[in-house]
Each structure stands twice: as structure tokens, then as C-alpha cells.
Structure 1
Amino acid sequence: MSGCSCNNQALAVGNHECCSQTSFVQDKLCATYTLTTATPQVIYALNTNPTKTFVSGTISLDSGPTGGTVAVTFLLGATIVETDTLTVGASLAFTKSGFTSITLTGTGAAPFTPPYQGEFCLTPRYPLG
């Protein structure tokens, strides 16, 4: 049986009357990006509690210099939580919590010719209250 358990009583699926319910707010942010230098570009910065915020999203790399890559870095303050690498034509899909910002950094000799270009779409969810 699945469901939640409250006061050592198992509840049937869909009957969660005694379990605490948390209401979440959901936003959506979609934009294109262009990287011409090797300076990390912040594409998202969190202004709520990172342990209670869940972010789903996609980041794509549509074009860039031949053989180049873009590093997608999830940071908690200045500490790197995770880094993923995108090649031209690739996309990254994720759902994460525990970070405060996302940066994109192109590799290779700058200025990048052609520039790295792509799109990101992020959906943060955070509790009310």
C-alpha cells in the first residue's frame, strides 16, 4: 500500500486528511543566452531558502565554436554543487534543490566566434509562508 502514514496509521492512497499539506508557488522563466567571453554568466539566482526550493528545467546549447562546450554550474553561494557540460546540439534536463545560482561558462579562446547561443527554461517551486 502506498500513501502517507500519520500517527502510526497507514492511509489509503488519496486519503491524506491527517498529513500536513504544503502549498507551493510555481514560477517559470525562459530566455535565450549568448556567451562571447569566458566570464561565467549567471542565468538564475535564488532569493529563497535553497533547501525548500525545487527547480526543474532545461538548458540547451544550440550553436557555438566547433568543438567547444559550455559548463553549466550549480552553486551554493561560492561552493560548486555540480557541473555539467553541454556540447553543441545537446540539452540538459534537471530537477534539483540545494543551490543558489546557475552559471554558464563557455570554453576555448575568447572572444568566441561564433558565440555560444542557446536557451534555458526554469521552473522553480517554493513553499508559501
Structure 2
Amino acid sequence: MACDNSATALTCCTNNEYVQDKVCTPWSGTVVATDVLLIVYVNNISQNLVGTGYIQYDVGADDIVVDVLNSAGAPMVTPITLSPGMSLAFTYRRFGSIRLTLPGASAGTYQGEFCITTRYAI
């Protein structure tokens, strides 16, 4: 049990049980003429999810954009731009999905890896 040992009172609260899962997977997309939206992760577990991981961008013709979206599909943070050869480490809480935008102006194949470790209470 975790306890609050303040000067005025000693109270205890119950422990929380957490689950931790790790998933890593390659991602890829082929751009022909329009933007390609790739959803690399969808939170179907809990609103109180914490995710830590990275997005690696190995091969592509141009910069890509990373968006972290809330459960309504709206951006939660300023979109992040990655160039080929770059990666992004992250920790986000209470998000709905993570999306990559591959630019329609630069045709070709785009590839990388996505890895996330999620933690949530049961």
C-alpha cells in the first residue's frame, strides 16, 4: 500500500495494478500523387494510457509529419517533422492515435519502424 505521511495525518490508499506491453513493427507506405496517412498506433485500451517509444524514419523521398491525435482525431501537440534518417523518441499520455503523413508532392516509397511501450491500470 502507498501511504501519505503528512504532518497532520497518516492515510493509506490501495496499490494500483499496471500492465506494460511493448510492440515494435516496421511501417511503410508508397506515395503516388496525394498525401498518404498512416496510422501507426490506435489506443483501444484506456483513456489513461501512457505510451513511451520511438518513430524511426529510414527511407523516403521527403520529410514526413508525425501527429499525435486525441480520441476525437484532433491534434494534441504541434505536428513534428522528420527527415530521412531521423528518429523521434516520445512519451505521451491520454492519446487516441499516432499518425504519419507522407507527402503527396514527393512520390516514392517511405519506410521506418515504430516502437511503443504502453502502461495502463487494470
TM-score class, shorter-chain normalisation, is 0.7 to 0.9
Residues 7-51 of structure 1: per-residue CA shift (max 9 Å, x gap) = 6259xxxxxx9343212101111111112132211111011332x
Q: Find out whether 1:120 has 2:114 as its counterpart.
A: yes
Percentage identity across aligned positions?
36
Map 1:5-44 → 2, pairs under 5 A? 6=4, 8-9=6-7, 18-37=12-31, 38-44=35-41
Q: Report the counterpart of residue 100 of structure 1 in structure 2.
A: 96
Q: Which residue of 2 aligns with 1:14?
A: none
5+ unaligned residues in a row in structure 2: which ranges? Answer: none
Question: Structure 2 length as normaliser, TM-score?
Answer: 0.82
CA distance in 1, matches of 2:40, 2:119: 17
Match in the other structure for 1:46 = 43
Gaps of 5+ in 1: 11-16
**How many residues matched?**
114
C-alpha spacing 1:25/1:9, structure 2 compared with 1 (3 Å) = farther
The one-letter code of the counterpart of 2:36 is: T
Mapped partners of 1:7, 1:28: distance in 2: 35
* Equivalent residue in structure 1 for 2:75, among 70, 75, 80: 80
Counterpart amino acid of residue 90 in structure 1: M
